[in-house]
Amino acid sequence: MTKVIVIGGVAGGATFASQLRRLDSECEITLFEKDRDVTFANCGLPYYLGNIIEKRSELLHFTPEQFKEKKDVTAKVFHEVIHVEPNHQTVTVKDLKNNTTFTEDYDYLVMSPGCRANRLPLDSDMIFTLRNLEDTDAIESYIEENNVQKALIVGAGYISLEVLENFYNRGIQTTLIHRSEAINKLMDQDMNQVIFDTMDEQNIDYRLNEEVESVDGKTVHFKSGKAEDFDIIIEGIGIKPNTEFLEDAGIEEDDAGYIPVNEFFQTNYRNVYAIGDIASYRYRHVDLPTHVPLAWGAHRAASIVAEHITQTRNIPFKGFLAANAVKFFDYTLASVGVTPADLKHFDYTMVESKQMNHAGYFPGAEPLHLRVYFEKSTRKIIRAAAVGKAGADKRIDILSLAMQNDMTVDELTEFETAYAPPYSSPKDIINMIGYKAQEK
Protein backbone atom coordinates (compact mmCIF):
# COMPACT_ATOMS: atom_id res chain seq x y z
CA MET A 1 0.00 0.00 0.00
CA THR A 2 1.31 3.44 -0.92
CA LYS A 3 2.07 5.51 2.17
CA VAL A 4 1.80 9.30 1.92
CA ILE A 5 2.80 11.69 4.68
CA VAL A 6 1.64 15.30 4.64
CA ILE A 7 3.30 18.02 6.71
CA GLY A 8 0.87 20.81 7.54
CA GLY A 9 -2.84 21.30 6.92
CA VAL A 10 -5.01 24.24 5.82
CA ALA A 11 -5.10 25.35 2.14
CA GLY A 12 -2.10 23.32 1.01
CA GLY A 13 -1.77 20.12 2.99
CA ALA A 14 -5.41 19.48 3.86
CA THR A 15 -6.57 20.23 0.32
CA PHE A 16 -3.92 17.91 -1.09
CA ALA A 17 -4.98 15.11 1.27
CA SER A 18 -8.60 15.52 0.19
CA GLN A 19 -7.69 15.54 -3.49
CA LEU A 20 -5.46 12.50 -3.13
CA ARG A 21 -8.20 10.54 -1.39
CA ARG A 22 -10.60 11.47 -4.20
CA LEU A 23 -8.19 9.98 -6.73
CA ASP A 24 -6.90 7.02 -4.70
CA SER A 25 -9.20 5.20 -2.28
CA GLU A 26 -6.52 2.75 -1.14
CA CYS A 27 -3.41 4.71 -0.16
CA GLU A 28 -2.61 5.47 3.46
CA ILE A 29 -2.61 9.22 4.18
CA THR A 30 -1.26 10.67 7.42
CA LEU A 31 -1.19 14.41 8.02
CA PHE A 32 0.90 15.97 10.80
CA GLU A 33 -0.06 19.48 11.93
CA LYS A 34 1.93 21.14 14.70
CA ASP A 35 -0.89 23.51 15.63
CA ARG A 36 -4.37 22.88 17.01
CA ASP A 37 -6.51 23.04 13.85
CA VAL A 38 -6.08 21.06 10.65
CA THR A 39 -8.39 23.05 8.37
CA PHE A 40 -9.75 26.58 8.71
CA ALA A 41 -10.47 29.60 6.53
CA ASN A 42 -7.43 31.72 7.36
CA CYS A 43 -8.39 34.50 4.90
CA GLY A 44 -11.56 35.06 6.92
CA LEU A 45 -9.88 35.54 10.30
CA PRO A 46 -9.79 39.38 10.34
CA TYR A 47 -13.47 39.48 9.41
CA TYR A 48 -14.36 37.25 12.34
CA LEU A 49 -12.54 39.67 14.64
CA GLY A 50 -14.60 42.47 13.08
CA ASN A 51 -17.85 40.57 13.69
CA ILE A 52 -18.52 40.50 9.94
CA ILE A 53 -18.38 36.70 10.13
CA GLU A 54 -20.51 36.05 13.18
CA LYS A 55 -20.18 32.30 13.64
CA ARG A 56 -16.76 30.91 14.47
CA SER A 57 -17.92 27.53 13.17
CA GLU A 58 -18.01 28.96 9.65
CA LEU A 59 -14.22 29.26 9.74
CA LEU A 60 -13.51 25.71 10.88
CA HIS A 61 -13.90 23.19 8.05
CA PHE A 62 -12.92 19.79 9.49
CA THR A 63 -11.82 18.58 12.88
CA PRO A 64 -9.36 15.65 12.82
CA GLU A 65 -12.25 13.34 13.65
CA GLN A 66 -14.33 14.66 10.76
CA PHE A 67 -11.34 14.43 8.43
CA LYS A 68 -11.00 10.76 9.29
CA GLU A 69 -14.71 10.05 9.01
CA LYS A 70 -15.34 11.90 5.74
CA LYS A 71 -11.98 11.63 3.96
CA ASP A 72 -10.30 8.63 5.61
CA VAL A 73 -7.27 10.82 6.34
CA THR A 74 -5.47 10.39 9.66
CA ALA A 75 -4.79 13.94 10.87
CA LYS A 76 -2.66 14.31 13.99
CA VAL A 77 -2.65 17.82 15.45
CA PHE A 78 -0.03 19.05 17.91
CA HIS A 79 2.40 16.81 16.01
CA GLU A 80 5.43 18.61 14.63
CA VAL A 81 7.76 17.09 12.05
CA ILE A 82 11.20 18.04 13.33
CA HIS A 83 13.40 16.23 10.82
CA VAL A 84 13.23 14.68 7.35
CA GLU A 85 15.57 12.00 6.06
CA PRO A 86 14.89 11.80 2.31
CA ASN A 87 17.53 9.13 1.66
CA HIS A 88 15.78 6.77 4.06
CA GLN A 89 12.28 8.14 3.34
CA THR A 90 11.47 8.83 6.97
CA VAL A 91 10.29 11.72 9.09
CA THR A 92 10.84 12.31 12.79
CA VAL A 93 7.72 13.59 14.54
CA LYS A 94 7.37 15.21 17.94
CA ASP A 95 4.13 14.72 19.84
CA LEU A 96 3.94 18.15 21.45
CA LYS A 97 1.38 17.21 24.07
CA ASN A 98 3.19 14.13 25.35
CA ASN A 99 6.71 15.39 24.61
CA THR A 100 7.66 12.19 22.78
CA THR A 101 9.18 11.55 19.37
CA PHE A 102 8.74 8.80 16.82
CA THR A 103 9.70 7.96 13.25
CA GLU A 104 7.43 7.29 10.30
CA ASP A 105 8.36 6.07 6.83
CA TYR A 106 6.79 7.20 3.57
CA ASP A 107 6.61 6.53 -0.13
CA TYR A 108 5.69 10.15 -0.86
CA LEU A 109 6.17 13.21 1.31
CA VAL A 110 4.18 16.41 0.70
CA MET A 111 5.38 19.41 2.70
CA SER A 112 3.04 22.32 3.39
CA PRO A 113 4.20 23.76 6.74
CA GLY A 114 3.42 27.33 5.70
CA CYS A 115 5.05 30.46 7.03
CA ARG A 116 5.05 32.14 10.40
CA ALA A 117 4.68 35.78 11.30
CA ASN A 118 7.75 37.87 11.98
CA ARG A 119 7.92 39.16 15.54
CA LEU A 120 9.29 42.29 17.12
CA PRO A 121 11.90 41.72 19.88
CA LEU A 122 9.42 42.75 22.55
CA ASP A 123 7.97 40.97 25.56
CA SER A 124 4.37 41.86 26.33
CA ASP A 125 1.16 39.95 26.95
CA MET A 126 -0.79 42.38 24.78
CA ILE A 127 1.16 41.72 21.56
CA PHE A 128 -0.38 39.31 19.05
CA THR A 129 0.09 38.10 15.50
CA LEU A 130 -2.69 36.75 13.28
CA ARG A 131 -1.78 33.65 11.29
CA ASN A 132 -4.20 30.94 12.40
CA LEU A 133 -7.40 30.25 14.29
CA GLU A 134 -5.53 29.84 17.56
CA ASP A 135 -4.22 33.40 17.19
CA THR A 136 -7.75 34.56 16.40
CA ASP A 137 -9.20 32.90 19.49
CA ALA A 138 -6.46 34.39 21.65
CA ILE A 139 -7.09 37.89 20.28
CA GLU A 140 -10.86 37.55 20.65
CA SER A 141 -10.54 36.35 24.26
CA TYR A 142 -8.11 39.14 25.10
CA ILE A 143 -10.42 41.79 23.65
CA GLU A 144 -13.38 40.49 25.65
CA GLU A 145 -11.51 39.91 28.92
CA ASN A 146 -9.64 43.21 28.87
CA ASN A 147 -12.34 45.46 27.42
CA VAL A 148 -10.02 46.57 24.64
CA GLN A 149 -10.77 50.10 23.47
CA LYS A 150 -7.54 51.16 21.79
CA ALA A 151 -5.33 49.16 19.40
CA LEU A 152 -1.95 49.68 17.78
CA ILE A 153 -1.41 48.04 14.39
CA VAL A 154 2.26 47.57 13.44
CA GLY A 155 2.93 47.15 9.72
CA ALA A 156 0.98 48.05 6.58
CA GLY A 157 0.52 44.87 4.57
CA TYR A 158 -2.65 42.88 3.94
CA ILE A 159 -3.11 41.56 7.48
CA SER A 160 -2.51 44.95 9.09
CA LEU A 161 -4.91 46.76 6.79
CA GLU A 162 -7.63 44.14 7.21
CA VAL A 163 -7.29 44.02 10.99
CA LEU A 164 -7.31 47.82 11.19
CA GLU A 165 -10.57 48.03 9.24
CA ASN A 166 -12.23 45.28 11.25
CA PHE A 167 -11.14 46.68 14.61
CA TYR A 168 -12.48 50.07 13.52
CA ASN A 169 -15.82 48.53 12.50
CA ARG A 170 -15.94 46.85 15.90
CA GLY A 171 -15.61 50.21 17.62
CA ILE A 172 -11.98 49.87 18.67
CA GLN A 173 -9.92 53.03 18.25
CA THR A 174 -7.02 52.13 15.97
CA THR A 175 -3.57 53.57 15.26
CA LEU A 176 -1.32 52.28 12.47
CA ILE A 177 2.43 52.70 12.30
CA HIS A 178 4.87 51.57 9.63
CA ARG A 179 8.65 51.74 9.57
CA SER A 180 8.79 53.29 6.08
CA GLU A 181 6.57 55.22 3.67
CA ALA A 182 6.02 52.20 1.38
CA ILE A 183 2.78 50.48 2.39
CA ASN A 184 0.84 47.63 0.73
CA LYS A 185 3.94 46.85 -1.32
CA LEU A 186 2.29 44.79 -4.06
CA MET A 187 0.49 47.95 -5.14
CA ASP A 188 1.82 51.02 -6.96
CA GLN A 189 2.54 53.42 -4.13
CA ASP A 190 0.68 56.41 -5.59
CA MET A 191 -2.41 54.22 -6.04
CA ASN A 192 -2.31 53.53 -2.29
CA GLN A 193 -3.31 57.15 -1.66
CA VAL A 194 -6.92 56.00 -1.16
CA ILE A 195 -5.75 54.16 1.97
CA PHE A 196 -4.44 57.39 3.51
CA ASP A 197 -7.49 59.34 2.33
CA THR A 198 -9.78 56.79 3.96
CA MET A 199 -7.89 56.87 7.25
CA ASP A 200 -8.09 60.67 7.23
CA GLU A 201 -11.84 60.55 6.56
CA GLN A 202 -12.37 58.07 9.41
CA ASN A 203 -10.05 59.98 11.78
CA ILE A 204 -7.76 56.98 12.06
CA ASP A 205 -4.31 57.89 13.35
CA TYR A 206 -1.36 56.65 11.28
CA ARG A 207 2.33 57.39 11.41
CA LEU A 208 4.91 56.45 8.81
CA ASN A 209 8.65 56.11 9.43
CA GLU A 210 7.79 55.05 12.96
CA GLU A 211 8.74 51.99 15.02
CA VAL A 212 8.10 50.57 18.47
CA GLU A 213 11.15 50.81 20.71
CA SER A 214 9.77 49.25 23.90
CA VAL A 215 6.58 48.37 25.76
CA ASP A 216 6.12 49.01 29.48
CA GLY A 217 2.77 47.67 30.65
CA LYS A 218 0.29 49.39 28.37
CA THR A 219 2.65 52.21 27.49
CA VAL A 220 4.31 51.97 24.09
CA HIS A 221 7.52 53.92 23.56
CA PHE A 222 8.25 54.84 19.94
CA LYS A 223 11.57 55.57 18.26
CA SER A 224 10.30 59.08 17.52
CA GLY A 225 10.31 59.73 21.26
CA LYS A 226 6.55 59.60 21.63
CA ALA A 227 4.84 57.44 24.25
CA GLU A 228 1.21 56.37 24.21
CA ASP A 229 -1.02 53.85 25.98
CA PHE A 230 -2.73 51.01 24.11
CA ASP A 231 -4.83 48.02 25.12
CA ILE A 232 -3.60 45.64 22.41
CA ILE A 233 -0.91 45.48 19.71
CA ILE A 234 -1.23 43.50 16.48
CA GLU A 235 1.98 42.83 14.55
CA GLY A 236 1.77 42.44 10.78
CA ILE A 237 5.40 42.80 9.75
CA GLY A 238 5.87 40.05 7.20
CA ILE A 239 6.45 36.31 7.22
CA LYS A 240 9.22 33.74 7.03
CA PRO A 241 9.01 30.12 5.86
CA ASN A 242 8.75 27.27 8.37
CA THR A 243 11.62 25.27 6.89
CA GLU A 244 14.05 25.05 9.81
CA PHE A 245 13.15 21.39 10.30
CA LEU A 246 14.83 20.65 6.96
CA GLU A 247 18.29 21.54 8.21
CA ASP A 248 20.76 18.85 7.08
CA ALA A 249 17.97 17.08 5.16
CA GLY A 250 19.57 17.76 1.78
CA ILE A 251 16.42 19.39 0.39
CA GLU A 252 17.40 22.49 -1.55
CA GLU A 253 16.34 25.92 -0.28
CA ASP A 254 16.93 29.42 -1.57
CA ASP A 255 18.62 32.16 0.43
CA ALA A 256 15.36 33.13 2.12
CA GLY A 257 14.50 29.57 3.17
CA TYR A 258 11.87 28.91 0.49
CA ILE A 259 12.00 25.64 -1.44
CA PRO A 260 12.47 25.75 -5.23
CA VAL A 261 10.21 23.27 -7.01
CA ASN A 262 9.70 22.07 -10.56
CA GLU A 263 6.51 22.18 -12.62
CA PHE A 264 5.01 19.35 -10.53
CA PHE A 265 6.08 20.89 -7.20
CA GLN A 266 8.79 18.28 -6.74
CA THR A 267 11.89 19.22 -4.78
CA ASN A 268 15.35 17.90 -5.66
CA TYR A 269 14.07 14.60 -4.22
CA ARG A 270 11.42 13.48 -6.68
CA ASN A 271 9.16 11.80 -4.11
CA VAL A 272 9.24 14.89 -1.89
CA TYR A 273 6.94 17.78 -2.83
CA ALA A 274 6.61 21.31 -1.46
CA ILE A 275 3.38 23.30 -1.80
CA GLY A 276 1.79 26.41 -0.36
CA ASP A 277 3.65 29.33 1.17
CA ILE A 278 7.05 27.62 1.30
CA ALA A 279 7.26 26.78 -2.42
CA SER A 280 9.24 28.94 -4.82
CA TYR A 281 8.67 28.75 -8.56
CA ARG A 282 8.48 31.24 -11.44
CA TYR A 283 6.11 33.70 -13.00
CA ARG A 284 3.98 32.30 -15.78
CA HIS A 285 4.34 35.21 -18.18
CA VAL A 286 7.95 36.35 -17.67
CA ASP A 287 11.23 34.66 -16.85
CA LEU A 288 11.64 35.60 -13.19
CA PRO A 289 11.50 33.55 -9.98
CA THR A 290 8.83 34.29 -7.39
CA HIS A 291 6.92 32.87 -4.47
CA VAL A 292 3.28 33.76 -3.93
CA PRO A 293 1.98 32.96 -0.42
CA LEU A 294 -1.69 33.18 -1.34
CA ALA A 295 -4.52 30.65 -1.25
CA TRP A 296 -4.99 30.11 -5.00
CA GLY A 297 -1.47 28.79 -5.48
CA ALA A 298 -1.77 26.39 -2.54
CA HIS A 299 -5.03 24.95 -3.86
CA ARG A 300 -3.70 24.64 -7.42
CA ALA A 301 -0.54 22.92 -6.20
CA ALA A 302 -2.58 20.50 -4.09
CA SER A 303 -4.47 19.32 -7.17
CA ILE A 304 -1.38 19.05 -9.38
CA VAL A 305 0.55 17.01 -6.81
CA ALA A 306 -2.36 14.66 -6.12
CA GLU A 307 -2.76 14.04 -9.85
CA HIS A 308 0.99 13.59 -10.31
CA ILE A 309 1.37 11.06 -7.51
CA THR A 310 -1.57 9.01 -8.76
CA GLN A 311 -0.60 9.52 -12.41
CA THR A 312 -4.21 10.36 -13.26
CA ARG A 313 -2.98 13.50 -15.02
CA ASN A 314 0.39 15.06 -15.64
CA ILE A 315 -0.59 18.68 -16.12
CA PRO A 316 2.44 20.85 -15.27
CA PHE A 317 2.16 24.09 -13.38
CA LYS A 318 2.89 26.94 -15.76
CA GLY A 319 3.73 29.51 -13.13
CA PHE A 320 2.23 32.31 -11.09
CA LEU A 321 0.59 35.50 -12.22
CA ALA A 322 0.34 36.65 -8.60
CA ALA A 323 -3.18 38.06 -8.87
CA ASN A 324 -4.18 39.60 -5.55
CA ALA A 325 -6.69 41.97 -3.98
CA VAL A 326 -7.26 43.65 -0.65
CA LYS A 327 -10.36 45.39 0.64
CA PHE A 328 -9.89 48.56 2.68
CA PHE A 329 -13.17 50.06 3.79
CA ASP A 330 -15.01 51.02 0.56
CA TYR A 331 -12.01 50.47 -1.73
CA THR A 332 -10.56 47.47 -3.50
CA LEU A 333 -6.87 47.54 -4.42
CA ALA A 334 -5.84 44.76 -6.79
CA SER A 335 -2.91 43.85 -9.01
CA VAL A 336 -1.56 41.04 -11.17
CA GLY A 337 1.86 40.26 -12.60
CA VAL A 338 5.32 41.22 -11.43
CA THR A 339 5.75 43.41 -8.37
CA PRO A 340 6.60 47.10 -8.70
CA ALA A 341 10.13 46.22 -7.56
CA ASP A 342 10.48 43.68 -10.39
CA LEU A 343 9.70 46.22 -13.10
CA LYS A 344 13.37 47.22 -13.12
CA HIS A 345 14.13 44.04 -15.07
CA PHE A 346 12.11 45.19 -18.10
CA ASP A 347 12.11 47.80 -20.82
CA TYR A 348 8.46 48.74 -20.44
CA THR A 349 5.82 51.35 -21.06
CA MET A 350 2.92 52.17 -18.75
CA VAL A 351 -0.56 53.22 -19.82
CA GLU A 352 -3.46 54.06 -17.55
CA SER A 353 -7.09 55.08 -17.68
CA LYS A 354 -9.53 56.61 -15.24
CA GLN A 355 -13.25 56.33 -15.85
CA MET A 356 -16.44 55.16 -14.16
CA ASN A 357 -16.81 51.46 -13.45
CA HIS A 358 -20.02 51.42 -15.50
CA ALA A 359 -22.07 53.89 -17.56
CA GLY A 360 -21.72 57.27 -15.87
CA TYR A 361 -25.39 58.17 -16.27
CA PHE A 362 -26.50 55.01 -14.47
CA PRO A 363 -26.88 55.44 -10.68
CA GLY A 364 -24.06 54.15 -8.51
CA ALA A 365 -21.18 54.74 -10.91
CA GLU A 366 -17.82 54.95 -9.11
CA PRO A 367 -14.41 56.15 -10.34
CA LEU A 368 -12.04 53.37 -11.37
CA HIS A 369 -8.29 53.72 -11.96
CA LEU A 370 -6.57 51.04 -14.08
CA ARG A 371 -2.87 50.95 -14.90
CA VAL A 372 -1.13 48.47 -17.22
CA TYR A 373 2.57 47.91 -17.83
CA PHE A 374 3.71 46.24 -21.04
CA GLU A 375 7.03 45.25 -22.55
CA LYS A 376 8.07 47.56 -25.40
CA SER A 377 9.52 44.87 -27.66
CA THR A 378 6.74 42.28 -27.41
CA ARG A 379 3.81 44.48 -26.25
CA LYS A 380 3.04 41.71 -23.73
CA ILE A 381 1.39 42.76 -20.46
CA ILE A 382 3.73 42.29 -17.50
CA ARG A 383 1.77 43.99 -14.72
CA ALA A 384 -1.57 45.64 -14.04
CA ALA A 385 -3.03 47.42 -11.02
CA ALA A 386 -6.48 48.77 -10.29
CA VAL A 387 -8.15 50.70 -7.49
CA GLY A 388 -11.73 51.77 -6.99
CA LYS A 389 -14.86 51.30 -4.94
CA ALA A 390 -16.33 48.94 -7.54
CA GLY A 391 -14.99 46.96 -10.49
CA ALA A 392 -11.27 46.84 -9.68
CA ASP A 393 -11.16 43.10 -8.97
CA LYS A 394 -13.23 42.37 -12.11
CA ARG A 395 -10.75 44.15 -14.37
CA ILE A 396 -7.72 42.52 -12.76
CA ASP A 397 -9.35 39.10 -13.22
CA ILE A 398 -9.88 39.89 -16.90
CA LEU A 399 -6.26 40.99 -17.30
CA SER A 400 -5.05 37.91 -15.45
CA LEU A 401 -6.74 35.74 -18.07
CA ALA A 402 -5.34 37.93 -20.85
CA MET A 403 -1.82 37.52 -19.45
CA GLN A 404 -2.34 33.78 -19.04
CA ASN A 405 -2.94 33.64 -22.79
CA ASP A 406 -0.02 35.91 -23.75
CA MET A 407 -2.25 38.63 -25.16
CA THR A 408 -0.64 41.91 -26.15
CA VAL A 409 -1.81 45.18 -24.72
CA ASP A 410 -3.13 46.14 -28.18
CA GLU A 411 -5.47 43.15 -28.21
CA LEU A 412 -7.34 44.64 -25.26
CA THR A 413 -9.21 46.75 -27.81
CA GLU A 414 -10.81 43.47 -28.92
CA PHE A 415 -12.11 42.58 -25.45
CA GLU A 416 -15.86 42.17 -25.78
CA THR A 417 -17.58 43.16 -22.57
CA ALA A 418 -20.99 41.89 -21.47
CA TYR A 419 -22.30 45.42 -21.71
CA ALA A 420 -25.32 46.92 -20.03
CA PRO A 421 -25.32 50.30 -18.27
CA PRO A 422 -25.25 48.81 -14.73
CA TYR A 423 -22.15 46.72 -15.52
CA SER A 424 -19.73 48.57 -17.82
CA SER A 425 -19.50 50.99 -20.72
CA PRO A 426 -19.60 50.35 -24.47
CA LYS A 427 -15.88 51.03 -24.36
CA ASP A 428 -14.88 49.40 -21.12
CA ILE A 429 -11.83 50.67 -19.27
CA ILE A 430 -10.06 47.52 -20.50
CA ASN A 431 -10.72 48.62 -24.10
CA MET A 432 -9.50 52.12 -23.34
CA ILE A 433 -6.19 50.77 -22.05
CA GLY A 434 -5.75 49.02 -25.41
CA TYR A 435 -6.59 52.14 -27.42
CA LYS A 436 -4.28 54.30 -25.34
CA ALA A 437 -1.49 51.77 -25.70
CA GLN A 438 -1.83 51.87 -29.47
CA GLU A 439 -1.08 55.59 -29.33
CA LYS A 440 2.27 54.66 -27.77
Binding site members for NADP(+): 151-166
Phi, psi of 338 (to 5 degrees): -65, 160
Q: What is the biggest distance separating any 2 CA atoms in the chain, rounded to whole angstroms? A: 69
Q: Would you say 302 and 275 are in contact if contact means Cβ atoms under 8 Å apart?
A: yes
> Are 402 and 331 within 8 A, CB to CB?
no
d(CA 218, CA 409): 53
SS3 339: coil
Residue list, annotated binding site for FAD: 8-33, 267-277, 419
Contact 138, 33 (CB under 8 A): no
Annotated binding site: 8-33, 42, 71, 151-166, 267-277, 299, 419, 427
Angle at 346 between CA 344 and CA 350, to 5 degrees: 90
Q: Which of 43, 96, 401, 420 is catalytic?
A: 43
| Residue in 115, 145, 101, 106 with CA at minimum distance from that of residue 8 | 115
- Identify the three-state secondary structure at position 173: strand
- Read off the DSSP letter of residue 271: T
> Binding site for substrate: what residues are annotated?
15, 19, 22, 42, 71, 299, 427
Q: Which strands make up the sheet holding 205-208, listed edge to edge?
A: 127-129, 232-235, 150-154, 173-178, 205-208
The secondary structure of residue 354, as a DSSP letter, is E
The Cα–Cα gap between 134 and 40 comes to 10
CA distance 9 to 33: 6
Distance CA 19, CA 30 (A): 14
Beta carbons of 371 and 188 less than 8 angstroms apart: yes
User: Does the active-site annotation cover 43?
Assistant: yes
Check if the beta carbon of residue 291 is closer than 8 Å to that of residue 279. yes
Q: Which residues are catalytic?
A: 43
